Chain A
Amino acid sequence: MLPILAQAEIPEIHWLPLIPHLVMAGAAVVLLTIVSLVGSRLPPWFASAWTVAAGLGVLATAIPVSIRVSQLGPHSTIAGSIGVDHFSVFIVILLAGTVVLTALIADGFLQREGLDGPAFYVLLMLSAAGGMTMAVANNLIVLFLGLEILSLAVYVLVAMHLRRAESQEAGIKYFVLGAFASAFLLYGIALVYGATGSLNLIDIENILRNDNLGDNGLLLAGMAMLLVGLGFKVAAVPFHAWTPDVYQGAPSPVVSYMAAGVKAAGFAALLRVFFAGFGEVADDWQPVVFGLAIASLAVGSMLAIVQTDVKRILAYSSISHAGFILVGVQAATDDGVASVLFYLAAYAAMAIGSFAVITVVSGPGDEGTGIDSLRGLAARRPLLAAAFTVLLLSQAGIPFTAGFWAKFEVITAAVDARSFWLAVIAMLAAVVAAFLYLRIVVAMFLDAPEPDAPRLRIPRGPAVAVAIVVLFTLAVGVYPEPILDLADDALLSLRLHVPTH
């Protein structure tokens, strides 16, 4: 037996890069354990605080990883299945931040709605761990697993508001469609495996570089199927249809996590697979992404302006944003990747903040999400309205907000890749989308409040979260350099990896 055992080489494992993941998943499991042991004796804020701590812990542990990457350069571990680079660190930080902020938002919300607190945070953290896995996955199966971890948790989170029929409807819709799309994704993985003989993106990239597989039918079909699956996750048209329904039905804090975290993880996966893995055959997939981007921009913007529910509006606008980000993906350059990352960070802030405001405004039962409920908010809660306005303007891409630089970077990437018309269309769609942000602003500032509007209570958690994202949005708006540098450093090129296998 010994020789057989010797056959099985244990691959080298760098633990450091995995610590953030372990912290996140571990925190979830520990929380679960604590809750089952101590249960009701815990104060109501405990789970939330725990999650915030876990998120901060991830942020803290991401720093040494980042330093390691700076020292060693991008590399991979565990037989090349885990990529350790600034790209993944960026996404990890982003996801951790999202978790922290979502936990803050959820605190008051769960108490208000009487929902099962600890389970929410456990699922949230596990989902984020899945997202992080997607960000680091250099292996298609790992990526798929990460995606499923992320998604399954979110399915439950979406459906968990048991008193709201909409919540469960959203849950089942998201689940059915998600499973359907996963099947396509998986089929795509299988076809790529068949074409290249490997599931490892490093290997695939090498193979594609050395062999001319650009016209291999299996590869092409695989890419198509992968795009379906990942396009679904990032809500690109025509795989977007779930988005408005789910965003509207899901509990508001969950939506903030979905808009920020899930989208970021989806794009991270998209970039890893297509830019890093299939970079050699970019000519093949660029036109498709081009088409998806235009469709998303157009449909997202046009449908958003005819909505009356704020969550729906923002859902459609998130589709439009996805289109914008796809513009950066389409460039298929390092600048494009950087622009996508920057956009994701900026969008995460705006989306979390926006849904935090909606969480607060929607009131008991999470029902008041119509645009009417925002009427005259400026008179009732000026600071909240001002904060929301900043976030909306950021979404519209107005200068001195993070959103402006996000669009700036994406358009830069597109122009640099000579996709002038795509850039033009994207900007035109941004103008159309601006209309809907203005509609919300109009409702808040220019309309009179309903005479019987109840006094809004703003819990501390969401208030802190909103304050953080608004400050972030404005700070980045004025001085985007640090985040830009981070995004620029987050090079995603498998060629630089030194597979330890």
Chain B
Amino acid sequence: MVTATWYLILAAGLFTIGAVGLLVRRNPLIMFMCVELMLNAVNLTFITFGRELNDIGGQVSVFFVLVVAAAEVVVGLAIVVAINRRRPQATADDLSALRG
């Protein structure tokens, strides 16, 4: 029998991979994907807790997270598109005019 802990550890691992991915990748799109990974990890955590607590709240939360994720991606991609129009192929590291 798989206990909740396994799910949670899996989620933690996924969250970590997402976080590390955001830190090491330069392509903004892939960075967004990493955020999605992190959100997915949270979703898994929510659902696991919900089941353990015998509570639907976790699942409802995931529902909202999904909506937020979708909206976030739209906005994020819109910004990326706008930037790419001016500076095609710009990586996250290229955008460092503001500093200091």
The answer to whether A and B touch in the complex, with CB atoms under 8 Å apart, is yes
Q: Besides the contacts A165-B86, A173-B95, A176-B35, what 10 more A-B pairs have beta carbons closer than 8 Å?
A: A141-B64, A155-B76, A156-B75, A159-B82, A162-B82, A166-B98, A173-B98, A194-B8, A194-B48, A245-B98
A176-B65 in contact (CB<8A): no
> B18, B86, B87, B95: which has the most chain A beta carbons within 10 Å?
B95
Interface pair A248/B98, CB less than 8 Å apart: yes
CA–CA, A162 to B86, complex, Å? 9
| Stretch of A32-40, A182-190, A423-431 contacting B (4+ beta carbons < 8 Å) | A182-190
A145 at the A/B interface (Cβ < 8 Å)? yes
A180 touches B22 (CB 8 A): yes
The binding surface of chain A is classed by DSSP as helix
Which 6 pairs show the lowest CB-CB distances between chains A and B?
Answer: A183-B38, A245-B98, A194-B49, A190-B45, A169-B95, A179-B35
A148 interface residue per 8 A CB criterion:
yes
Q: Is the CB of A172 within 8 A of B95?
A: yes
Given A155-B75, A155-B79, CB of A190 within 8 Å of CB of B46 = yes
> Could you tell me which B residues sit within 8 Å of A by CB distance?
8, 15, 18-19, 22, 28, 31-32, 35, 38-39, 41-42, 45-46, 48-50, 52-53, 55, 57-58, 60-61, 64-65, 68, 71-72, 75-76, 78-80, 82-83, 86-87, 92, 95-100
A residues near B79, Cβ cutoff 8 Å: 155-156, 159, 168, 171-172, 175
Pairwise interchain contact B80-A193, C-beta atoms closer than 8 A: no
**Chain B residue nearest in CB terms to A153:** B75
Distance of A218 from chain B, by nearest CB (Å): 9
Q: Which bracket fits the contact residues of A?
A: 35 or more
Q: Is A198 an interface residue, CB under 8 A from the partner?
A: yes
Residue pair A141, B58 in contact (C-beta under 8 Å): no
What B residues does A487 contact at CB under 8 A? none
Does residue A493 face the partner (Cβ distance < 8 Å to B)?
Answer: no
Kindly provide the distance from the CB of B83 to the nearest chain A CB, expressed in whole angstroms.
5
Compute how far the CA of A189 lies from the CA of B35 in the bound complex, rounded to whole angstroms.
Answer: 16
| Residue interface bits A406-418, CB-to-B below 8 A is 1, else 0 | 0000000000000
Q: When the two chains form their complex, are residues A144 and B45 in contact, meaning their CB atoms are under 8 A apart?
A: no
Q: Digit string of A442-467 for contact with B (CB within 8 Å is 1, else 0)?
A: 00000000000000000000000000
Task: Please tell me which one of the listed residues A172, A183, A190 contacts residue B18 in the complex, with CB atoms under 8 A apart.
Answer: A183
> In the complex, what distance in Å separates the CA atom of A199 from the CA atom of B48?
15
Question: Are B76 and A179 in contact, with the CB atoms below 8 A?
Answer: yes
Q: How far is the CB of A124 from chain B (nearest CB, A)?
A: 15
Q: Please indicate the chain A residues that have their CB under 8 angstroms from the CB of B32 in the complex.
A: 176, 179
The CA of A187 and the CA of B95, in the complex, are separated in Å by 28
Near B by CB (< 8 A), chain A positions 112-159 give: 141, 144-145, 148, 152, 155-156, 159
Q: If the complex has contacts A148-B68, A168-B82, A175-B75, are A194 and B52 also in contact, measured as CB distance less than 8 A?
A: yes
Given contacts A152-B75, A194-B45, contact A168 B98 (CB under 8 A): no
Please indicate which of the listed interface residues A168, A190, A193 has the most CB atoms of chain B within 10 Å of its own CB: A190
Give the docked Cα–Cα distance between A22 and B58 (Å). Answer: 27
Chain B residues with Cβ below 8 Å from A169 are 83, 95-98
Given contacts A145-B68, A165-B86, contact A190 B61 (CB under 8 A): yes
- Known contacts A165-B87, A171-B79, A183-B18; decide if A199 and B98 are in contact (CB<8 Å): no
With A and B bound together, what is the CA distance between A152 and B78 in angstroms?
12
How distant is the Cα of A159 from the Cα of B83 in the complex, in angstroms? 9
